[in-house]
Amino acid sequence: MSQRRKAESDDDLLPEYDFRGAVRGKYYERYRQGTNVVLLDPDIAAVFHDSTAVNDTLRLLVSLAKAKAVGRKPTGGRPLSPNRPLQPTSRATRGARRRKRAGAARGPNVRQREPGER
């Protein structure tokens, strides 16, 4: 490499940059451990005053999500039945009873129409 090119590459730094008190590798161990920097949108950042508020809110959200996945209330309590949404409602049960009674009132020889039949 010629002397001229070497001189040009050394002129990148501005004169006000001062590295006399710098320590090489000061944050190397922290960097090796890993970091997770997240940038918030301005409207979200306006809600939280510091990182502690963000972390507390995220921890609460995670605990709520875990509680919902397990199928229990976040504050504790008994777990819900896993097939609860599949159980018929009381309204559906009442309707089935009425249809059954109506068929019995017509007599055994009256044929009921199938769903979709005209």
Cβ neighbours of residue 78 closer than 8 Å, sequence gap 6 or more: 72
The helix/strand count (H/E) of the chain reads as 5, 0
Q: Is the pLDDT reported for residue 106 higher than 90? A: no
CA distance 73 to 67: 6
Six token digits for residue 47: 């809600």
Q: Is the pLDDT reported for residue 105 higher than 60? A: no
Q: What is the pLDDT of residues 45-54, one digit of tens each?
A: 999 989 899 9
Q: What is the pLDDT of residues 36-46, one digit of tens each?
A: 778 899 999 99
Locate the domains of the chain by residue range: 26-77
Six token digits for residue 32: 């090796």
Could you tell me the pTM of the whole model?
0.35
Percentage of residues in the chain having pLDDT higher than 90: 21
74 near 64, Cβ under 8 Å? yes
Residue with the larger pLDDT of the pair 78 and 101: 101
For the segment 9-27, the average pLDDT, to the nearest whole number, is: 82
